[in-house]
A and B are shown apart, each in its own frame.
Chain A
Amino acid sequence: MNDSFKTKTTLSAGGSAVTVYSLETLATEHPEVRTLPYSLKVLLENLLRHEDGRVVKKEDILALAKWDPKAEPDKEIAFHPARVLMQDFTGVPAVVDLAAMREAIVAMGGDPARVNPLSPADLVIDHSVQVDNFASSLAFGQNVDLEYERNRERYEFLRWGQSAFKNFRVVPPGTGICHQVNLEYLAKVVWTNDEGVAYPDTLVGTDSHTTMINGLGVLGWGVGGIEAEAALLGQPVSMLIPNVVGMKLHGKLPEGATATDLVLTVTQILRKKGVVGKFVEFYGPGLAALALTDRATIANMAPEYGATMGFFPVDGETIKYLEFTGRKALAPLVEAYCRTQGLWRAEDAPEPRFSDTLELNLADVVPSLAGPKRPQDRLALSDAKKVYRENLPAMLAKGSSADATVPVTEGRLQYNLPQGAVVITAITSCTNTSNPSVLVAAGLLAKKAVERGLDTKPWVKPSLAPGSKVVTDYLTAAGLMPYLEALGFHLVGYGCTTCIGNSGPLPEKVSEAVRTGDLVVASVLSGNRNFEGRVNPQVKMNFLASPPLVVAYALAGEMDLDLTTEPLGIDRNGQPVYLKDIWPTPQEVADTIVKSLSPAQYEKAYGAVFEGDAGWQALTVPKGSTFAWDAKSTYVRKPTFFENLGREPKPLADVKGGPLPRPPRRLHHHRPHLPRRQHREILTSGEVPG
């Protein structure tokens, strides 16, 4: 490794000395380094530490140190992430490739034990659980059983991988969502390696919402499977030095507005601004008023606003969060390192230089939803009825009308399912379930609703799927679970569920009514995406909203209702109940959090995080340094990438036309010449291979 700028120095922190690649040393010669955006400083340190004269050159370091905020990005650099985060859909093929590489190395006469991830890799199983059962205290167990039944082959394979590979850990099913587990447990903010070198935590993930960790000052984003595999094999991720857009926040969220409303507002503004391919970095006095979990909520939706990242620099709030979530031991090094490296956000620090800036006064945020089809289409709650009515005509089936209803009989229960019925209400997704303020608000709203005698409409499929076990712990400690359950929001799983389309089928009678009446029905979920067909094939309108609004719509049961002016229902005394009557105050939310959340909950949830439940432990774990493939499996097969692989590469050869005399022909096809944006929409609508 080279050290052209002689930046390798020693830092004493928490009683021990670590090696640091000092940005301050570089800044003595290149003072403009001090006013780089924090996100670029992290990248710059990455280059300094990996300078080898070939993959990372002195000129690459200089190009980033002398970054011109206004220049069109054209300089490619090699970024070496410290670690890799995977979810099970995209992670399984990566492990399949590693397994196949082990066999290939045996065939080449090598030692299979040499094939391991070179960077630490964590795979969290979160994408497979489906909401088959709900609104019952048995739902969680039943859904987990079904998950194991369906995915046994994949899970046995992953358990083999967990025991066969070094540097590779698997978080078992039923534990949480990868981004929330990353935020609450895996992330270290500053790492130290075996050689005593301290460096910023950075990662690539195989899921687009990897950016949630930017809320904790950790650099990272989602990449395709091949880049992730390359990264876990120690290869660099190639990228352009990006433009960085600064979003200045000031003021404070007003009463009634939540972090969800804020992220939907940010998404709308930034999508309009155009930040595709750029970093977004948040700055300004408003940061002081933003809890770490609010920052994580905002960072989470970077793919929806189009940015590569939505970065929040490390500050006192970051330290507070690490301490609260059971990572107190990390705090001294994180603070000392970040302060020394100029990575610490202080109130009096000069503002970084940005390619472009924009501002948001948090006080302007209002209760919001986004939909019915795109996450950037934010609307004020007070406009929801109007927006529903505007969108309905184009979505109506031929011959159907806005006031069509379908009579439904379920046992003794009879009702008319209306056009615009809300049939799915899901408290789901890492975006929001990582944020206690909105979950506690949902619980408090449920409590007040139940106390007034309100209930969920009979056609609604409610669910609660948090991204970690901490959530149910604090909701239980706060005494709020019974109220959520009274409205049908029973725990259905710890995983992505409805947010990635694993909403499970609609109840049979509802499904049948939607089909026979060709009704336009809706879902309201606290997720991050809502493209048509993503949530459920029968549900045409999908609205993203905060967890308390999800509960409110379960009570309302339809979109054709203005929750700001019309009652949600009638109480036991015949009095109308309005949303504002049962909306919890910020003080109630804050008091409940203080009373019900504790570091002990995080320590308990993550103390044995890799052990898994009885189902996980009961799986048959195949032995051996190579995997015994089952030729009949429809889930994991040995790929053919490495067949007949020799020790030396074959000489380069021209590509020659096919066999003669029969004229050889070629496969030829075009990607459609769609405008880029439109084409993206088609392919981004789910975690489906593009």
Chain B
Amino acid sequence: MKPADFNQYGARRGNHEVMMRGTFANIRLKNLMLPGTEGGITLHVPSGEQMSIYDASMKYQAEGTPLVVLAGAEYGTGSSRDWAAKGTMLLGVKAVVAKSFERIHRSNLAGMGVLPLQFAVGEDAQSLGLTGKETFDVADVADGLTPHKKITVTATAADGTKKSFVATLRLDTPNEVDYYRHGGILQFVLRQMTA
């Protein structure tokens, strides 16, 4: 594409291919898996390579690896957020574990079928000694969900060491549980339309 045809970024919001690449692309983003860096990059753990979050996501999806985001406080704060949750879902993220959520982004994650989980008070990735290089298992989902259910997450390090912690399910209403069960709000409405 020629620069003259760039038009505006906002004009490409109807193209998920562009928007996925823009998710987590904030130039101020600090990924603690790569201390000292800023911007939308991460470590692809199996290869040890540093790459864009989009590229890493594509590799993980090709490898069949679902993804988890470990996050800090007020996760998802920002004003124009229509793609923040959609992009998260399309990048293959199945759950976000955060210290706390910005209210609307949390509900949008539920609306996109991404599991919002909150660390217990006083806990976070650092206090639990998580590095992000572990494998994560999220239990207690298959046997049914209710708002604010306690969910056990187990992190397995490369050497096989396991750490478990209990997080709170931040699906806050029965409606949100329905949305999640259907894979998202649009899927929920769609199935109602076919019923």
Contact = CB atoms under 8 A, between A and B. Distances in A.
Interface string A669-687: 1111110100110111011
Given A668-B32, A669-B69, A150 B186 contact: no
Contacts of B173: 76, 238
A224 interface: yes
Interface in A321-357: none
Interface stretch (A20-28, A377-385, A635-643): A635-643
Contact of B76 (A229, A656, A671, A674): A671
Contacts of B3: none
Contacts of A682: 26, 28, 78
Contact of B135 (A105, A110, A664, A674): A664
Nearest to B97: A668
Interface in B67-113: 67-87, 89-91, 93-95, 103-105, 107-108, 111-112
A226 B185 contact: yes
Interface in A228-270: 228-230, 233-236, 238, 240
Given A658-B66, A659-B64, A679-B78, A689 B93 contact: no
Nearest to A128: B11
Given A641-B186, A669-B42, A655 B23 contact: no
Nearest to B41: A669
A679 B67 CA distance: 25
Contact of B79 (A157, A225, A303, A667): A303
A690 B16 CA distance: 14
Nearest to B143: A652
A680 B78 contact: yes
Interface residues of B, number: 108
B70 A687 contact: no
A670 B39 CA distance: 11
A653 B76 contact: no
B11 A667 contact: no
B108 A226 contact: yes
Contact of A654 (B32, B78, B125, B141): B141
B172 interface: yes
Contact of B68 (A95, A127, A655, A671): A655
Contacts of A668: 31-33, 42, 68-70, 125, 130-133
A27 B176 CA distance: 32
Given A226-B82, A680-B78, A652 B1 contact: no
A667 B53 contact: yes
**Of listed B12, B89, B145, B172, residue having the most chain A CB within 10 A:** B12
B81 A224 contact: yes
A78 interface: yes
A227 interface: yes
Nearest to B187: A645
B140 to A, nearest CB: 7
Nearest to B83: A689
Contact of B107 (A97, A233, A238): A238
Contacts of B87: 689
B23 A689 contact: yes
A290 interface: no
Nearest to B92: A667
Interface string B7-23: 11111111111110011
Contacts of A227: 104, 107-108, 111
B105 to A, nearest CB: 8
Given A92-B14, A115-B190, A680 B79 contact: yes
Nearest to B82: A225
A237 B136 CA distance: 32
Contacts of B121: none
B166 interface: no
Nearest to A655: B138
Nearest to A100: B186
B137 A657 contact: yes
A151 interface: yes
A673 B73 CA distance: 7
Nearest to A651: B142
A123 B47 CA distance: 46
B64 to A, nearest CB: 5
Interface string B40-75: 001011100000010011001001111111111111
B28 A667 contact: no
B186 A690 contact: no
B193 A652 contact: no
Given A653-B141, A655-B94, A665-B46, A688 B186 contact: no
Contacts of A128: 8, 11
**Of listed B10, B84, B158, residue having the most chain A CB within 10 A:** B10
Given A93-B83, A668-B70, A688-B80, A649 B183 contact: yes
B24 interface: yes
Interface string B155-177: 01010000000000000111110
B189 interface: yes
Given A128-B11, A635-B12, A690-B26, 15 more contacts: A92-B14, A151-B7, A226-B85, A238-B176, A640-B90, A658-B65, A659-B64, A665-B135, A666-B67, A667-B60, A667-B91, A669-B53, A683-B77, A688-B9, A689-B81
27 contacts: A76-B173, A101-B189, A154-B14, A224-B82, A227-B104, A235-B189, A635-B14, A641-B186, A649-B182, A649-B183, A649-B187, A654-B141, A655-B68, A655-B115, A655-B136, A656-B66, A662-B46, A663-B135, A665-B46, A666-B45, A667-B69, A668-B69, A669-B31, A671-B76, A672-B28, A686-B80, A690-B78
Interface of B: 1, 5, 7-19, 22-24, 26, 28-33, 42, 44-46, 53, 56-57, 60, 63-87, 89-91, 93-95, 103-105, 107-108, 111-112, 115, 125, 130-145, 156, 158, 172-176, 181-187, 189-191, 193-194
